[in-house]
Chain A
Amino acid sequence: MRSIEHATPFMMFAFVFAGLIVWNFISRSRRGEKFFVRRLPGIDAVFEAIGRSAELGRPISFSTGLSGVGPVLYASMGVLHGIAQKCARYGSSLFIPQNDPAAMAVVEDVARDAYRAVGKGAQFDPQKIVFLSEEQFAFASGYMGLLHREKVGAAFLFGSFAGESLILAEAGQQVGAMQVAASVSPEQVAFFIATSDYTLIGEELFAASAYLSQEPVQVGSVRAQDVVKFLFFILIILGVTFATLAAIFPSLSFLNLETFMLGSWGIAGE
């Protein structure tokens, strides 16, 4: 199979079609149509953890892990916005340790905006957004130190994580913090399930922000992604069926769905 640097006709069609679905659901949601977003126990636990920390008078930590500026960071920012608003209302300290300088600028802006949104702009302390290190394990070490020094009551791990995920989650366990973790990396999800109180798996990280804010654009896009995913699911079923039939009846060349999906534009020299 050739490596993909440019889209095939099928990919272009899928891209445009997915875009139309997203546009359709966002428009409908903006017009007031209600879409159901299922309950996510991990997100319900976010508010429980903030409340518990506020009662105990202990600070809260929110980490985006090794996330750089990208979709995962933007998805996590929706959750951070909700958490920062709650912390501002309850007067809880919110520490946001950072690994990426570019992401840090985004994080600071979102946190400041959340404090202002609830009329507590003066309470916002930029010193709580701590740049630890760009190096993975130095960051993990700094995070452990921070959690132990500040004795946090709740730790939220939303973003991209790698080998340091277990170190971060164990640090929260050691200080007795209630932890909610979310990662799109399947390898790290297993570690979070073993160490955190609640774990959001894969796309739940993207849905969390919609669930928290109930914003029409976000709710509509969650619905759109469900529809796109359903279409992909149908494609997978079709692919499996066609591949099985092609194995049984090798003479039927039209059954080769891979050729159809990865077929080129038919341009000379492509």
Chain B
Amino acid sequence: MKELLIKFSTFLAGLYFVFEFLIPGTWSEAWGIDKLNEPISNGFVAIGSMAFGLGIINLVRIHGKTILFRSNKWFYSLALLLGLFGMIVFASLDWIENLTITKTSDRILLLKSFSEKIITDYDNKTPNVLDPKSRTDFLIKAWNQEKNSFSPELMDTFKSNLSFQKVEELIQTLSRLDSYSPETLRELAPNFAEVSTFYRSASSASYENSMTKFAYKLLNNGIFVPLGAAMFSLLGFYIAGAAYRAFHVRSLEAFLMMAAAVLVICGQTTFTLGIYSGFSEIRAWLLQVPNSAAFRAITIGAGVAGLVLAFRMWFSVESGVFGRKK
């Protein structure tokens, strides 16, 4: 039963993609098939996330055991797990902080839209809305709530900002007024936008100097990225080593390979081009004709083989590795 269910699910999943590709685009739109793409892609993301969790569990299981039993070179496992969890913690903190800044900035920007909405609703006599004075009071309350959430350091930075001062001044004016004042609101709205932008840049600048950001940058930009670059730079030396081995002329094929490589090098370097400019055309011909032909042959062969394998998987006719023998 389980096997049948797997085969049926595989067939259905394959059928969707084959059908979606084979039918004309207009039919796909008309029948609403293209609308299924997003939920299906989300399903793949969900499955991928589960697999990612599986990877973390596997790492913790294997390296945790090595540390617990003090197996050979257990400290490498400890370094790995510390690095893994350190990175997870600091990357999460970084993400939360950036999200908080963006959300607060968006909320301040919303106050601008709200100020404008109070004016337009009043002018258009929009039904079923509160009176403009009450709405203005809500605006003042919302601003004060936002302002109170600012840290003392941020408030110090804001004190020198003209837009912030203007907002404060206009909010004070609105608080004192007993009636609706569209002029004040109209003046206030663009200043909220300015304050939102300033908040975003000031908070980001302040966060850049925090310990969390420092730790994240140390782990990512200071350790992870340079180590990756160091590995990549090894390629330069390895290419030289591999080329040395490859250019040992032991057979006709090796001779042809070396001759082609030398001609390509000659067509690429200024010195040899100065001796004979025709190397450039030879290089171009080698790359565009025999090289492209070989590349395409490999690509077509692999593509056809992939298609045949896909048929096998789609119809679950695999009898070897994936289809269990009874």
- A and B co-occur in one complex: yes
Residues of A near any B CB (own CB < 8 A): 5-7, 11-12, 15, 18-19, 22-23, 26, 71-72, 74-75, 77-78, 80-81, 98, 100-102, 104-105, 110, 113, 117, 127, 129-131, 134-138, 140-141, 149, 163-164, 166-167, 169-170, 184, 186, 189, 191, 193-195, 201-203, 205-207, 209, 213, 215-218, 221, 224-225, 228-229, 232, 264-265, 267-270
Q: Do residues B232 and A137 form an inter-chain contact, with CB atoms below 8 A? A: yes
Which residues on the B side are within 8 Å of A194 (C-beta)? Answer: 242-243, 245-246
Contact of A166 among B48, B224, B235, B324 (CB under 8 A): B235
Q: What separation, in Å, do the CA atoms of A6 and B325 have in the docked complex?
A: 38
Query: CB of B51 within 8 A of chain A?
Result: yes
Query: CB of B286 within 8 A of chain A?
Result: no
A206 in contact with B309 given A130-B62, A195-B245 (CB within 8 Å): yes
Q: Do residues B319 and A141 form an inter-chain contact, with CB atoms below 8 A? A: no
Secondary structure of the A side of the interface? Answer: helix
**Which of under 10, 10 to 19, 20 to 34, or 35 or more describes the interface residues of B?**
35 or more
A4 to chain B, nearest CB (A): 9
User: What are 11 pairs between A and B in contact, CB < 8 Å?
Assistant: A18-B308, A81-B321, A104-B51, A110-B322, A138-B227, A163-B232, A202-B298, A206-B306, A232-B304, A268-B26, A270-B26
B25-39 to A contact mask, C-beta < 8 Å, 1/0:
111100000000000
Contact of A137 among B21, B231, B246 (CB under 8 A): B231
Q: What separation, in Å, do the CA atoms of A83 and B22 have in the docked complex?
A: 38
Query: CB of B24 within 8 A of chain A?
Result: yes
Q: A81-B320, A203-B301 are in contact. List 13 more A-B contacts (CB 8 A).
A: A71-B310, A101-B53, A101-B54, A104-B58, A117-B325, A170-B241, A194-B245, A203-B302, A206-B302, A209-B321, A228-B308, A229-B301, A229-B304
Q: What separation, in Å, do the CA atoms of A166 and B238 have in the docked complex?
A: 7
Q: What separation, in Å, do the CA atoms of A186 and B65 have in the docked complex?
A: 40
A189 to chain B, nearest CB (A): 7
A6 in contact with B243 given A138-B228, A206-B309 (CB within 8 Å): no
A156 to chain B, nearest CB (A): 15
B151 to chain A, nearest CB (A): 35
Question: In chain B, residues 183-217, which have Cβ atoms closer than 8 Å to a Cβ of chain A?
Answer: none
A167 in contact with B301 given A71-B306, A102-B51 (CB within 8 Å): no
Contact of B21 among A6, A215, A217 (CB under 8 A): A6
A22 in contact with B318 given A166-B235, A186-B294 (CB within 8 Å): no
Which residues on the B side are within 8 Å of A167 (C-beta)? Answer: 231, 234-235, 238
Query: CB of B313 within 8 A of chain A?
Result: yes
